[in-house]
Amino acid sequence: MAGKASIDSIEKQITMLDDKIEKATTHLNKLKSQRQELIDKRNSIKMQEVAQILQKSNLTPEQAVKILTNYNTENNNN
């Protein structure tokens, strides 16, 4: 019977660890979601800055894309 008690104890420990892993995974996913929200917010602010620069420079989005595409093509060929 000592073997049975030992196995029961091990099973309880495994269950406890599984519960801890589940809670940690849930917490990690929440943190990742919060991180992504902040990244999205930062990117939105940066895009607003880009739009202001384009407006001040009297460039259309199409012109900006063409300039960036040309810049990227020239720098990748070197």
* Residue 78, pLDDT score: 59
3-state secondary structure of 60: coil
Q: Alpha carbon of 55 to those of 33, 40, 52, 60, 78: distances in Å?
A: 33, 22, 5, 8, 31
**Alpha-carbon torsion angle 51, 57, 61, 67, nearest 10:** -120
* Residue 22, pLDDT score: 98
**Could you tell me if 64 and 54 are in contact, meaning their C-beta atoms sit under 8 angstroms apart?**
yes
Q: What is the pTM of this model?
A: 0.68
* Cβ atoms < 10 Å from Cβ of 24: 10
* Residue 72, pLDDT score: 86
Domain locations along the chain = 2-76
pLDDT tens-digit profile of 16-66? 999 999 999 999 999 999 999 999 999 999 999 999 999 999 999 999 999
